[in-house]
Amino acid sequence: MTTSHRALLLAGSLKREDSSSAALGEYLCECLRGQGMVTETFWLADVADRVARWDDCVRAVGRSQLVLLCFPVYADSLPAIVIEACTRIAAAAMPLKRCAAVTCAGNPEATHCRIAVAQCRRFCDACGWTWAGALAMGEGDTIAGRPLGSLGYLQRHTRRALRLAAVALAQGGSVPERARDAMARPVLPVWLYPWYAWVGQRRMAWQRGGARGLHARPFMEADRNGSNNA
């Protein structure tokens, strides 16, 4: 039985549809819709780009019974804009909701998401809401913003994790342990991922003009030239 009919995906990546975390969130929403839930997505990028206001974000949260925080991990914790959103939502003192998180890190191990997930739980406690668990994965570059459905065999565990989580969340439960485990399972061997990421970033560097000075130390160079950037 579906107990929470409306879910809000709070997408914290400012890369919007090009982001890996948003691809995870969108797939989870697709699965939740398959379970009879109504989903809505609020892009924090809209606030950053001044297309929407923080009030719109708080109102969107107010309309839903299930809040899904979806974000990339920056510097081992929540991105600044997600912290800002959480602070504003907590200050709005909304009635009881359920909250879950979906996140990915650019490093190979899902353990890089541990602190950010714990922060989400603190946010949930601060709001007085029910924590419904989190799904975290490493190797975010293996998604690179592409829809999960198009990624075939490589992301089969990720899709299975999200499907399992959607069933549990739609029934009013928490993210099951086997979903968490499937999500945390490395897509590529940990030894291979740095090479995979390096090749992708090298290609990006050629496209975006930074390939020649990938290892530049601009502030040290400024020191040597006698100027002061600081």
Partner 1 sequence: VKAVLYDGAECADRVTSAVARAAYEELADIGVRARRLCLREMQIGWCRGCLGCWVQSPGLCVRDDDAHTVMAAYVKCDVAVFVTRVTFGGYSAQAKRAVDCLLGLLSVTMRRYGMQVRHAPRYVRMPRLLVVGVAPVDKEEMELFRAMVAAQARSLHAPRARALAVHAPADLEGRLPRALSDLGVAA
Interaction between residue 111 and partner 1 (CB under 8 A): yes
Identity of the residue numbered 5: H
Interaction between residue 56 and partner 1 (CB under 8 A): no
Among 57, 66, 78, 187, which residue sits at the site for partner 1 (rule: CB under 8 A)?
A: 78
Q: Which two tokens stand for residue 35?
A: 């379970």
Contact range with partner 1 by CB under 8 A, out of 26-34, 55-63, 167-175, 205-213: 205-213
Q: Which is nearer to partner 1, 48 or 178 (CB)?
A: 48
Interaction between residue 128 and partner 1 (CB under 8 A): no
Q: Which two tokens stand for residue 65?
A: 């019974």
Interaction between residue 220 and partner 1 (CB under 8 A): yes
Q: Which is nearer to partner 1, 1 or 230 (CB)?
A: 230
Buried b / exposed e over 91-125, threshold 16 CB at 10 Å, is eeebeebbbbbbbbbbbbbbebbbebbebbeebbe
Q: Which two tokens stand for residue 25?
A: 């969130």
Contact range with partner 1 by CB under 8 A, out of 54-62, 92-100, 153-161, 217-225: 217-225
Per-residue DSSP letter, 8: E
- Residue 77's nearest CA partner among 110, 114, 23, 44 is 114
Enumerate residues 16-45 that contact partner 1 by CB under 8 A.
Answer: 19
- Number of residues this chain uses to bind partner 1 (CB under 8 A): 56
Least Cβ distance, residue 85 to partner 1 (angstroms): 8
Interaction between residue 192 and partner 1 (CB under 8 A): no
Q: Which is nearer to partner 1, 154 or 211 (CB)?
A: 211
Q: Which is nearer to partner 1, 127 or 170 (CB)?
A: 127
162, 211, 220 from 134: Cα distances, Å: 10, 37, 41
Contact range with partner 1 by CB under 8 A, out of 56-64, 150-158, 168-176, 209-217: 209-217
- Sheet strand arrangement including 130-137: 38-43, 6-11, 66-72, 98-104, 130-137
Interaction between residue 219 and partner 1 (CB under 8 A): yes
Residue pair 140/20 in contact (Cβ under 8 Å)? The answer is: yes
Interaction between residue 76 and partner 1 (CB under 8 A): yes
Buried b / exposed e over 137-156, threshold 16 CB at 10 Å, is bbbbbbbebeebeebeeebe
Residue pair 68/41 in contact (Cβ under 8 Å)? The answer is: no
**Residues in touch with partner 1 (CB under 8 A):** 13-15, 19, 48, 72, 74-81, 83-84, 86-87, 107-109, 111-112, 114-115, 118-120, 122-123, 126, 190, 193-194, 197-198, 201-202, 204-205, 208-211, 213-220, 222-223, 229-230
